[in-house]
Chains A and B, each alone.
Chain A
Amino acid sequence: KAGVTQTPRYLIKTRGQQVTLSCSPISGHRSVSWYQQTPGQGLQFLFEYFSETQRNKGNFPGRFSGRQFSNSRSEMNVSTLELGDSALYLCASSLAAPQETQYFGPGTRLLVL
């Protein structure tokens, strides 16, 4: 089975731009979670989707949004980028719930200049 894939792997943007990141879960997995990792804050939960519905959201501003498609693929969007959004963005999938074993993708490294 193919693992979790994320595209793009690296991205450079400037302040004020917006960005869309994509995550394809393991086949058959319906829960997709997104995380942000920075040197200062560590790993933080962004949101979790199941069956095209956002089930949970972390403490991030409304500039961070996401969605899930009927094939379980997920995208996250960050609008009006700020320097502090520079981070590694990871997605993880599980069969149905985040309290199951999480399978992580390689991440998208975003640099905001």
Chain B
Amino acid sequence: KNEVEQSPQNLTAQEGEFITINCSYSVGISALHWLQQHPGGGIVSLFMLSSGKKKHGRLIATINIQEKHSSLHITASHPRDSAVYICAVNNFGNEKLTFGTGTRLTIIP
């Protein structure tokens, strides 16, 4: 079992829909990251959080430390949101980043 599990693996939605991507982890962590990767490889950090909730534009990230679970929400989705979204955690103690396998999101106009 992977230390970081994401669901769903693939998600296709219509423009305007509300999107939720989930991340569960099994280890103690000091921080959790949500990353976005577009075709071509470039990775952008969307959020880094260790508790609570963060919002940036149409994106919202939440984390529940007790349940070892985080969600990434996209409101009013747009075709430019189409990308792979990756959850990663810093293992508590050694701080190594462990990555989920990613969620491929496709937004259809």
Chain A residues lying within 8 Å of B33, measured Cβ to Cβ, are 101-102
Chain A residues in 8 Å Cβ range of B99: 42-45
Q: Does B88 contact A (CB under 8 A)?
A: yes
A99 touches B30 (CB 8 A): yes
Within 8 A of A (CB), among B21-45: 30-31, 33, 35, 41-45
B contacts with A: majority SS? strand
B44 neighbours in A (Cβ, 8 Å):
104
- How many A-B pairs with Cβ below 8 Å? 57
Q: With A and B bound together, what is the CA distance between A97 and B30 in angstroms?
A: 11
Whole-angstrom CA separation of A104 from B98 in the bound complex: 15
Contact B45 A102 (CB under 8 A): yes
**Which residues of B does A touch, CB under 8 Å?**
30-31, 33, 35, 41-45, 48, 50, 86, 88, 90, 94-102
Taking Cβ atoms with an 8 Å cutoff, the residues of A that contact B are: 33, 35, 37, 42-45, 48, 56, 58, 88, 90, 92, 97-104, 106-107, 109
Given contacts A98-B95, A104-B35, A104-B44, 17 further A-B contacts (CB under 8 A): A35-B97, A42-B101, A42-B102, A43-B86, A45-B98, A45-B99, A48-B96, A56-B96, A88-B41, A99-B31, A99-B50, A100-B31, A101-B45, A102-B33, A102-B97, A104-B43, A109-B41
